[in-house]
Structure 1
Amino acid sequence: MLPKSAAVLIWVLGIVSFSFTSAQTINLPTLKPGIFEASARIEIDAPLLDVWNVLLDFPAYSEWNPFVRSQVVADHFRVPTPDQVVEEDRRLIIKVQIPPLQNPVDANSPSNPFHSQVSLENITHIDVGNRRMAWRAIFLPEQLLDSERWQALSTSEEGKTLYEAREIFRGPLSHVVDALFAKGLQDGFDAQAVALKTRTENQ
């Protein structure tokens, strides 16, 4: 008979293994591992193109997104572009709430100044064919903190739209981000996924 401690360890490893398998991504690319990550995955009963268009409509994020309250496309001088067209190698000025606001939100929902964070990102991928988008933080040297966020859509086995998001943090300062913001970031990813589902299913 196994010692009690060994049995508990096997049970825990079994749960971890099951969780990892059940959370396998469908349309996200394979990424270099990091110190920690936040992710979300949800099925949406709405056409894939409708969900894609909502994700790309950055000016409307304040109307529904409890996590990303503002996402502005800018040029290399950080000046917002008049057209707000999402293109590779443009900048993003992102304002988030960590932890997120309580769902539901609208454009008039006040942000909590104590939970507000701003980041500058570079749009690295807009893959319309595969319904993927990605950006990378550039407000600090990559050797100190490298964060890469991907979002992707695909069609699930049930014929619904599958939304996936994943952000990986690398570099020495990611340990600090992990200690201070890991739970809030994960809550933010989860809240955005639920809000995206509500937004697109109710259109």
Structure 2
Amino acid sequence: MIARSFAFVGVLYATYSAFGQTPPTNLPPATPGVFSAQSSIIIDGPIETVWSALLDFPAYPNWNPFVRWVHSLHRILLEALTDQTPHENLRLIIAAQIPPLPTPVDASTPPNLLHAQLSFENITAVDTAQHRVAWKEIMIPAPLLSAERWQALSVVNGNQTFYEAREVFGGPVGYVVDALFAQGLQAGFDAQAEALKELVER
């Protein structure tokens, strides 16, 4: 059982807001862990537009206050690839701000070096049909730390998109991450959801 879960539900519209309900999830079942960070929000835009923005890693510096940049790497040489199109078993290096930067941000926004974090990840899923993408932390061995981030989209209210993100942290190091970064991670998940909404709706 997940010991602690931090949940944020964004602004909900139409029938869901009227009945005080959250749309059905498109995320896979959560794995056991120490704690999780998660967010969700309804975006007033078509699902394919949101999906394209989510997978456009080179554009992240222009709008994302949490994940400032993502580079796809050669599996063996670990050099940045010319083609940054996400696919399964692709290695990633991710620069995050925990907690996130104040918004809005763009490519020229300087990092807060005290809150800058790098992680080495492997893409575990790119499901275009179900609009789900996931990557898993591989810098620290799995027995010590497990952390897989899922993001999913689904159509709601005709032409709106329900965005969800969740990352479950497990293993002994998960308790350290919980103590040091849980609040900042949750703030980052919330900030990315809001910024993605702003990007698509502007």
Give the TM-score, by structure 1 length. 0.87
- The answer to whether the Cα contact below 8 Å between 2:23 and 2:156 also exists between their aligned partners in 1 is no
Alignment of 1:121-136 (within 5 A): 121-136=121-136
* Residue in 2 that maps onto 1:10: none
Q: What residue ranges of structure 1 are gaps of 5+ in the alignment? A: 1-18
Alignment of 1:56-71 (within 5 A): 56-71=55-70
Q: Deviations over 1:104-130 (max 9, x none)?
A: 101110000000000000000000000
Which 4+ stretches in 1 moved above 6 angstroms? none
* Residue in 2 that maps onto 1:201: 201
DSSP 3-state at the match of 1:173: helix
Q: 1:169 to 1:23 in 2, by over 3 A?
A: farther
Q: CA deviation at 1:31?
A: 2.3
* Residue in 2 that maps onto 1:154: 154
Greater gyration radius: 1
CA RMSD of aligned residues (A): 1.6
Alignment of 1:34-45 (within 5 A): 34-45=33-44
Residues of 2 paired with 1:168 and 1:183: CA distance? 14
Residues of 2 paired with 1:167 and 1:22: CA distance? 22
Residues of 2 paired with 1:158 and 1:176: CA distance? 43
Q: CA deviation at 1:158?
A: 5.7
Residues of 1 paired with 2:27 and 2:143: CA distance? 24
* Residue in 1 that maps onto 2:140: 140
Q: Structure 1 vs Structure 2: percent identity of aligned residues? A: 52
More strand by share: 2
- The answer to whether the Cα contact below 8 Å between 1:25 and 1:164 also exists between their aligned partners in 2 is no
Alignment of 1:44-63 (within 5 A): 44-63=43-62
Which residue identity does 1:67 align to in structure 2? F
Residues of 2 paired with 1:157 and 1:38: CA distance? 26
How many residue pairs match? The answer is 183
Q: What residue ranges of structure 2 are gaps of 5+ in the alignment? A: 1-8, 10-19
Q: Deviations over 1:30-64 (max 9, x none)?
A: 12121000001000001110000000100010000
Residues of 2 paired with 1:146 and 1:111: CA distance? 26
- The answer to whether the Cα contact below 8 Å between 2:45 and 2:159 also exists between their aligned partners in 1 is no
Which residue identity does 1:138 align to in structure 2? I
Q: CA deviation at 1:157?
A: 3.8
Q: CA deviation at 1:156?
A: 1.7
Residues of 2 paired with 1:177 and 1:157: CA distance? 37
Residues of 2 paired with 1:43 and 1:110: CA distance? 29
Residues of 2 paired with 1:142 and 1:126: CA distance? 21
Q: CA deviation at 1:174?
A: 0.3
Give the TM-score, by structure 2 length. 0.87
